[in-house]
A and B are shown apart, each in its own frame.
Chain A
Amino acid sequence: MGKNHLGSKITNWFVYIVISLSILLFIFYPYLSIFVQALHEPGETFNSFFMQNIKLTQNSLFVAIITMILSVFLAVSVTLCFAFISKKWQRLLRVFLLITMVSPPFVTSLAYITLFGRRGMITHDLLQMTIEPYGPQGIILMQTLSFASLNALVLIGLLKQLEPSLINSARSLGARTDAVIKDIILPLLKPGLIVVALISFIRSLADFQTPTIIGGSFKMLASEGYFAVISMGDIHKAALINLTLAIPALIGFFLYIKYDHAMSVQHHGLSSNMKAFPLPKKGFFFVGSVILSVIFYLALLLQYGSIVMNAFSVKVMGNYQFSLQPIIDSQIYLNDTITRTILYSLIAGLVGSLISFLIIYYSKVRNDRFMKFIEMVGTFPYILPGTFFGLGYLYAFSKPPLIMTGTSIIVIINVIFKQVAFATKAAKASVSQIEPTYFKTVHDLGGTVVNEWKDVFFPMTKQGFAITFLNGFISTMTTIGSIIFLVHPGQNMMTLVMFDVVQRGEYQVAAVIACMIILICLVMSGIVFGFISLSGKDWGYVFRSKKSH
Chain B
Amino acid sequence: MFLEVKNLTKKYSNKTVLHSLSFGVDQNKILVVLGPSGCGKSTLLSCLNGFITVDEGTVFLDGQNITKLYPEERDITTVFQSYSLFPHMDVMQNLMYGLKFKKISRNDARKKALKMLHLLQMDEFSNTKIQDLSGGQQQRIALGRSLIVEPKLLLLDEPFSNLDEKLRLTMRHELRQIQKELNMTMVFVTHDQQEAFSIGDQILVMDQGQIQQIDTGQGLYSTPKNHFVLKFIGDSNLLDNGEYIRPEDIVIKSDSNGDGRIEQMDFQGSTINYLIKYKERVFHVTCLNRIEPLKVGTHVDVQYKVSKLEEK
Contacts and interface: CB of A to CB of B under 8 A. Distances in A.
Contact of B101 (A163, A165, A174, A549): A174
A228 to B, nearest CB: 46
Contact of B98 (A173, A278, A280, A547): A173
Which of A171, A173, A184, A547 has the most chain B CB within a 10 Å cutoff? A173
Contacts of A171: 51, 70-72
A506 B88 CA distance: 53
Interface stretch (B77-85, B180-188, B299-307): B77-85
Contacts of A547: 82
Interface in A172-215: 172-176, 179, 183-184, 187-188, 190
A172 B82 contact: no
B63 interface: no
A174 B51 contact: no
A174 B78 contact: no
Contacts of A280: 70
Given A174-B98, A174-B102, A165 B80 contact: yes
Contact of B86 (A174, A184, A549): A184
A390 B82 CA distance: 50
Interface in A135-153: none
Contact of A168 (B51, B86, B101, B102): B51
Interface string B74-116: 0011101110111110000000011011100000000000000
A188 B88 contact: yes
Given A168-B71, A188-B87, A278-B51, A173 B97 contact: yes
B117 interface: no
Contact of A173 (B51, B70, B77, B81): B77
Interface in B142-199: 142, 145-146, 149
Nearest to B157: A165
Contacts of A190: 88
A166 interface: yes
B49 interface: yes
A170 interface: yes
Contact of A549 (B78, B81, B88, B97): B81
A169 interface: yes
- Sorting the interface of chain A by its residue count into under 10, 10 to 19, 20 to 34 or 35 or more gives 20 to 34
A165 B82 contact: yes
Given A184-B86, A187-B88, A278-B51, A172 B78 contact: yes
Interface in B49-66: 49, 51
B149 A174 contact: yes
Contacts of A184: 86
B51 A179 contact: no
A166 B78 CA distance: 11
A168 B97 contact: no
Contact of B80 (A168, A174, A175, A187): A168
Nearest to A173: B98
B100 A166 contact: no
A268 B153 CA distance: 43
A285 to B, nearest CB: 15
A166 B94 CA distance: 11
Given A172-B49, A172-B76, A173-B98, A166 B70 contact: no
Contact of B84 (A169, A174, A278, A549): A169
Contacts of B49: 172
Given A168-B78, A179-B101, A278-B51, A173 B84 contact: no
B88 A172 contact: no
B285 to A, nearest CB: 36
Interface string A266-302: 0000000000001010000000000000000000000
B84 A163 contact: yes
A171 B71 CA distance: 6
Given A171-B71, A280-B70, A179 B84 contact: no
B306 to A, nearest CB: 41
18 contacts: A165-B82, A166-B84, A168-B84, A169-B86, A169-B142, A171-B70, A172-B49, A172-B78, A173-B97, A173-B101, A173-B149, A174-B72, A174-B100, A175-B97, A175-B101, A176-B101, A183-B86, A190-B88
Closest 3 CB pairs of A and B: A173-B98, A174-B101, A169-B84
Given A166-B86, A174-B101, 4 more contacts: A163-B84, A172-B71, A173-B101, A174-B72
